[in-house]
A = this chain, B = another copy of it.
Amino acid sequence: MQYFLEHLATCVSAISGVLAARGKSVDLFGVVVLALVTSLGGGTVRDTILDLRPVFWVADSIYVVTATLCAMVTFFVARYWTGLTPLADWALQLADAASLALFTLVGTEKAMGAGVPPLVGMAMGVITGTAGGMIRDTLLGEIPMVFRRQIYLYATASLAGAGVFVALNGLVDSNLLRFLVLLTVFGLRLAAIWWKIHLPAFEPSVNIHQG
């Protein structure tokens, strides 16, 4: 089950890497690199900083295969089938929230298992969940999505989930704990999209003008 979920998250984040390149003059190879960076980047930063060796995709290169295949299929579908429906957009939002939840859980659990302080464990959960997308956006010359107030609690949902893990770790059954973390991230993210909840941002005048 966890194996299936991890590969689902890898695939979904690879898809998001491909879709971020729409409208840019990026070729097929660039698209695959962006997909790999998005889906493997967060875990690579985590394993490198914590010195967990070998880095997860060096130990098991099946992750590289999964991300590459999902990226190539998405590239050809998105290029030649331009009528992507709003239904597909909504499905992608759901799947993306699921991959954020899962990467956060995996990252926090792996870091706490390595015996780091709680605050570092939470940081690693957020890094695993968001750093891949951050590198993707930076390579495309944009301010990373996770920084922007229009995105509605993306990294904040990840931080909340990591906080739940750290707070309840060892106090409740580990499968219940995992479920609670996933529910926190996934639920908070979807609720924030639905009710357009966001954190305060700089530039209060912008808030006034926009409503």
Contact = CB atoms under 8 A, between A and B. Distances in A.
Contacts of A36: 123
A29 B200 contact: no
Nearest to A22: B202
Interface in A69-96: 75, 78-80
A159 B49 contact: no
Interface stretch (A3-11, A102-110, A142-150, A175-183): A142-150
A168 interface: no
Contacts of A117: 58, 61
Interface residues of A, number: 61
A78 B202 contact: yes
A27 B65 contact: no
Given A29-B156, A48-B49, A65 B119 contact: yes
B27 A198 contact: yes
Interface in A112-152: 116-120, 123, 134, 138-144, 146-150
Contacts of A198: 27
A148 B25 contact: yes
B200 A123 contact: no
Contacts of A119: 61, 64-65
Contacts of A199: 27-29
Interface in A9-52: 21-31, 33-34, 36, 44, 48-51
Interface of A: 21-31, 33-34, 36, 44, 48-51, 53-55, 57-58, 61, 64-65, 75, 78-80, 116-120, 123, 134, 138-144, 146-150, 155-156, 159, 198-204, 206
Given A28-B199, A79-B202, A138-B139, 7 more contacts: A26-B143, A27-B147, A27-B201, A34-B147, A51-B51, A57-B120, A64-B123
